[in-house]
Structure 1
Amino acid sequence: MAAVNEDLTPIRCVTWAVEDAVDAALQPNADGRLFVLATAGGWPAAVCDVRAATAAEAAGIVRRAVAEEGVRPPSGFVAGRPTTVGVSVVVCTLGREPRLTDTVAALLAQTHTNIEILVVDNDPGSGRVPALLAGVGDPRLRIIDQPRRGLSAARNAGLAEAGHPVVAFTDDDALPDPGWVAALASVFESGDQVDCVTGLVLPTEVATRTQLFFEEAGGFAKGLRAVHWRRGGTTTALGTQPGPEGLAFPFDACYGSGNNMAFRAEALRARGGFDEALGAGSPTRGGEDLDAFQTVYLDGGTVVYWPAALVRHHHRADHDALVEQMYGYGLGMAAVVAKRLLSSPATAAGVLRKLPGGLRLLLDSGSNKNKGKTAAFPAQATWAERRGYLAGPAVYLGARIRQRRSARRPRQEDA
């Protein structure tokens, strides 16, 4: 039986530069609460769960937090640095998310103008996507049909059509910040041979307890420090520090998330794109983004997490959707682990060495994964994720077999 959200006064989520004057954007809700991403000198310096009565009081709390604990930008960060590299942005959709129009509008409003926007219609027979975007006449927007279902298949279709050196991905329920593409582009233009960049993902709003619970479970955010993962190297031209290596590294989800990621297009194509046995719309429900990040790292490439590349995301708002989401996360993560076990004896040995630490991370209530959950966090969601982990390996094996059989079968258009 689905749990019912208790009443929650919606909490606004805002971005505010501490150099700015206090304005109405900082007004807390009726319960005196506000979520603030504070920037200093253009860099995201602090995330504050503000408890205050007025906007002025909220500003004081945020400024103190930045002064006392704020994250400093890496040495290679220059606010407002012009960027020129061409970027293809891919958004995959079934046309069922009406907020797709907001996503496309946010992409067309990017400060970085050398872009194309590729909306991949993964259900072209429905006609929903052209109907949603009928009023958009910008020549930078193209709709690409991909009738073969699955997020990986859709992303691969976008990758195949991408005409620029960098290909970025976000979702149809996400709102990229106006400087998102410019922030991603600045990393690729840094002089380092960076293969993949991920960024900060924060909620668009917290209007239900379920959305609050998702943040308690870790959300999508990976912190505010710019870091990199690179085998055999400890520094970058950007001044980023080596990224965290937790109990399950490098076979975990430390790198970022698929609603805010970009790759050198040719490097991603050379590595085979996204595994179509993984991802939403496949039996494994997820994991294709984690697989791509891990593949870059294990192949000797460089992954950079750059929090200045900000995307806001509409979290699932009801209990049943959260439970399904957590099950899918467990399923997808375990599927990726199963893929690594099958990839080579050396990699399999590495996975087995990390397995005890990974289990501790998953099951220990005091682990970094679980310590943010309050007593009110729904146990059903936690157990759904664990069930997904148990089912993931077998589901991946089945999906892989079906995917290979499908690849061998002649397509109707080729017959």
Structure 2
Amino acid sequence: MDPAAPALTLRPALDSPERPDWDGAVWIGEVWVGAIEDADRAGRAAGIPVRCRLAGAEGYGRARLLVRADGRPLGFVEIEVSESSVNFGELRRRVAGLRVTEPDRPVRAGPARVAEGNAVPVTVVVCTRDRVSMLRAALRSVLAVDYPSFDVLVVDNAPRTDATRQYVLGLADPRVRLIREPLPGLSRARNTGLSAATGDIVAYTDDDVVVDRHWLSALVDGFGRGPSVSCVSGMVPAGEIRTPAQAYFDRRVGWSDSTDARVFD
């Protein structure tokens, strides 16, 4: 490929220091429609095919990309990877086939933008038990969301050590509080978090999850889809398929790939 060609570089959903040693591994990431359109215009102007590179894709033969417009996810595409790149023309064609707008909720011109003074306060509850290495990544993603009014409550559930306490207190972030639930059990921990939450909305996530930067904006927006919405949930796509065990789990869950908004009553 021409090194001067316009390039679109995509990042993985999760950074892994290890290359896969399994030939069925799937590189996981996302691509925005606007980025594809910008790269396509640059390629046409230069008269050179666009290079679409995947960071950290050494050893992967396929990629799964969550396709996003400014206001919502549109769906997933899977595409062949060759030398840490995918065919840009093929990617553009597949993404074009996903661009279907909901009849009652058109795609917005941009992500939900909520002024700080008008934002509904949200408390994010993260329950954990002696898994500081995972908690670090989870909290890092939560604290990076684009929502202007939220706090975080870490529930230290029946800890065997004080590692979680030391880590959370060491953050010295005024948005983050730590409470302890002495009896083990996720339901107990979540109820303890609920009782201590101060926000008008309580948002639960787990310590092994990396949340999207628009997560809270989309969650709050979900409460506006009906006159009496009391609970909003969403998809939890796989962030990594590097091992056969991860692929096995991914094939058997139902919450990982639906991008159609539905209202239940």
TM-score range, shorter chain: 0.7 to 0.9
Letter in 1 for 2:79: V
Task: Give the aligned partner of residue 111 of structure 2.
Answer: 80
Cα deviations by residue, 1:132-169 (Å, 9 ceiling, x for unpaired)? 32431110100111102110000000000110110010
Kindly indicate whether residue 248 of structure 2 is the aligned counterpart of residue 213 of structure 1.
yes
Task: Give the aligned partner of residue 228 of structure 1.
Answer: 263
User: Are the aligned partners of 2:145 and 2:216 in contact in 1 as well (CA < 8 Å)?
Assistant: yes
User: Are the aligned partners of 1:27 and 1:34 in contact in 2 as well (CA < 8 Å)?
Assistant: no
For residues 221 and 206 of structure 1, the distance between their equivalents in structure 2, rounded to whole angstroms, comes to 13
Query: Structure 1 residues 72, 54: closer, same or farther in 2, change over 3 A?
Result: farther
Query: Structure 1 residues 140, 188: closer, same or farther in 2, change over 3 A?
Result: same
Task: Give the aligned partner of residue 24 of structure 1.
Answer: 53
User: Are the aligned partners of 2:26 and 2:240 in contact in 1 as well (CA < 8 Å)?
Assistant: yes
User: Are the aligned partners of 1:13 and 1:205 in contact in 2 as well (CA < 8 Å)?
Assistant: yes
SS of the equivalent of 2:228 reads coil
For residues 58 and 46 of structure 1, the distance between their equivalents in structure 2, rounded to whole angstroms, comes to 19
For residues 160 and 251 of structure 2, the distance between their equivalents in structure 1, rounded to whole angstroms, comes to 39
Cα deviations by residue, 1:319-358 (Å, 9 ceiling, x for unpaired)? xxxxxxxxxxxxxxxxxxxxxxxxxxxxxxxxxxxxxxxx
For residues 124 and 55 of structure 1, the distance between their equivalents in structure 2, rounded to whole angstroms, comes to 42
Question: 1:241-280 alignment to 2 at 5 Å?
Answer: none
Question: 1:124-273 alignment to 2 at 5 Å?
Answer: 124=159, 126-189=161-224, 192-218=227-253, 220-230=255-265
Question: 1:106-125 alignment to 2 at 5 Å?
Answer: 106-124=141-159
Alignment: residue pair count: 226
Please list every run of 5 or more consecutive structure 2 residues that lacks an aligned counterpart in the other structure. Answer: 1-19, 40-50
Please list every run of 5 or more consecutive structure 1 residues that lacks an aligned counterpart in the other structure. Answer: 231-415
Query: Structure 1 residues 144, 31: closer, same or farther in 2, change over 3 A?
Result: closer
User: Are the aligned partners of 2:238 and 2:256 in contact in 1 as well (CA < 8 Å)?
Assistant: no
Kindly indicate whether residue 41 of structure 2 is the aligned counterpart of residue 11 of structure 1.
no
Cα deviations by residue, 1:347-371 (Å, 9 ceiling, x for unpaired)? xxxxxxxxxxxxxxxxxxxxxxxxx
SS of the equivalent of 1:46 reads strand
More helix by share: 1
User: Are the aligned partners of 1:7 and 1:208 in contact in 2 as well (CA < 8 Å)?
Assistant: yes
Letter in 2 for 1:75: R
Kindly indicate whether residue 72 of structure 2 is the aligned counterpart of residue 37 of structure 1.
no
TM-score when normalising by structure 1: 0.50
Query: Structure 1 residues 150, 98: closer, same or farther in 2, change over 3 A?
Result: same
Aligned with 2:125 (options 71, 87, 90): 90
For residues 212 and 153 of structure 1, the distance between their equivalents in structure 2, rounded to whole angstroms, comes to 30
**Deviation, structure 1 residue 198:** 0.5
SS of the equivalent of 2:151 reads strand
For residues 217 and 179 of structure 1, the distance between their equivalents in structure 2, rounded to whole angstroms, comes to 26
Letter in 1 for 2:32: A
SS of the equivalent of 2:202 reads strand
**Deviation, structure 1 residue 211:** 0.6
**Deviation, structure 1 residue 224:** 1.1
**Deviation, structure 1 residue 119:** 0.5
Letter in 1 for 2:101: R
User: Are the aligned partners of 2:25 and 2:241 in contact in 1 as well (CA < 8 Å)?
Assistant: yes
For residues 85 and 206 of structure 2, the distance between their equivalents in structure 1, rounded to whole angstroms, comes to 35
TM-score when normalising by structure 2: 0.76
For residues 107 and 124 of structure 2, the distance between their equivalents in structure 1, rounded to whole angstroms, comes to 23
For residues 13 and 112 of structure 1, the distance between their equivalents in structure 2, rounded to whole angstroms, comes to 25
User: Are the aligned partners of 1:38 and 1:62 in contact in 2 as well (CA < 8 Å)?
Assistant: no
SS of the equivalent of 1:106 reads helix
Query: Structure 1 residues 187, 180: closer, same or farther in 2, change over 3 A?
Result: same
SS of the equivalent of 1:16 reads strand
Task: Give the aligned partner of residue 296 of structure 1.
Answer: none
